[in-house]
Amino acid sequence: MIGASGFLGTAKSRLLPASVPFRFFVAAAVCHVLLWGAVLFAADDFPRFRGGAGPSLAAVHLLTLGVLTFTAVGAAVQLLPVATTKPLAAVWPIRLASWLLIPGAMVLIAGMAIVDSAWMIGGAAASTLGLLLFAALLADNLRRAGSMRVVRAYGWAAFASLIALVALGLALSLDDRFGFLIDHAAAARAHMILGGFGFMGMLALGFSHVLIPMFALSNAPDQRTAWFGFGAAAAAVALGTIGALRDVPALQTAACVVGAVAVGLHLGLMRVALAGGMRKRLGLSFVLIRFS
């Protein structure tokens, strides 16, 4: 049985001031409201959308960059020190990251909506700097963590995906003005895969391996199965990204198959953790977790 009581007992000392993660959550909530307004505004354009700047692209990024990324960053800076048992090296970098990422994302999304390349490039540059600061904190925390090797592996995969994600995002924003990418659509597909499955997916899967057993008071997931799951998930992201960049349908199909294996292994591990936990009444939050 994992040392859940001791683990939870020391977790409070590693939590950040509430204002730090809350600023990302508030920004995510605002973007969620704006998202539905943008969807209604761009409703006629969505069925025909095949890429390119405009209201549809802005709506997509209100979801991916606004709702999902802001939530992921806010949750990660609060949960990562708990999961790795190592506090962040300093708080000021994530505060600075918020002042770069949140306004930068809003400028980027506004530039997409009005098709203004200068706004898009400026917003992308600020967002990139903010995400790189977050990535530096993520890497430092993972480097200092000495245990939970599977969780660290997922964290490093999320880190690598984030670096590739922001590089492609910046390149895509610059390409709208300078046109240097060979295949803009292929780069956009890879950007989407790295964001949704690479950064967000790997981060969520990694946290699940420690947080679900911790709250359910159950044994840690079987390590051999967990490593197989990590290998399948990482391979799926790599195959999908390469397949998108090179426009190879066979690789993209293989990514779907391998990804399904990773999902199956993960669901099996989480089911065992919940079934074997000492806490059976986990509340409404775990009803939502089971559905997700």
Mean pLDDT of 87-93: 86
Give the containing element (helix H, strand E) for 78.
Answer: helix 70-84
179-192: burial string, b at 16+ Cβ within 10 Å, e else? eebeebeebbbbbb
Mean pLDDT of 32-58: 86
Instruction: Report how far apart, in Å, the C-alpha atoms of 172 and of each of 37, 43, 192, 241, 255 are.
Output: 25, 24, 12, 15, 23
pLDDT value at position 11? 52
**């198959």: which residue's tokens?**
257
Average pLDDT, the chain: 88
Mean pLDDT of 115-144: 93
pLDDT digits (tens, 9 = 90+) for 248-279: 999 999 999 999 999 999 999 988 888 887 77
pLDDT digits (tens, 9 = 90+) for 96-115: 999 999 999 999 999 999 99
Long-range contacts formed by 230-234: CB under 8 A, 24+ apart: 230/150, 230/153, 230/154, 230/157, 230/205, 230/262, 232/258, 232/259, 232/261, 232/262, 232/265, 233/154, 233/157, 233/201, 233/202, 233/205, 233/259, 233/262, 233/266, 234/157, 234/202
pLDDT value at position 18? 83
Local confidence band at 14 (pLDDT 50, 70, 90 cut-offs): low
pLDDT value at position 143? 87
pLDDT value at position 10? 52
- For residue 3, pLDDT over 80 is answered with no
Do residues 31 and 67 lie in contact, with contact meaning Cβ atoms separated by under 8 Å? yes
Local confidence band at 237 (pLDDT 50, 70, 90 cut-offs): very high
Say what the pTM is: 0.88
Local structure of residue 85 (DSSP, 8 states): T
Instruction: Give the integer Cα–Cα distance in Å for 27 and 99.
Output: 11
pLDDT value at position 222? 87
Per DSSP, the three-state class of 119 is helix
Mean pLDDT of 203-232: 88
Local confidence band at 94 (pLDDT 50, 70, 90 cut-offs): very high
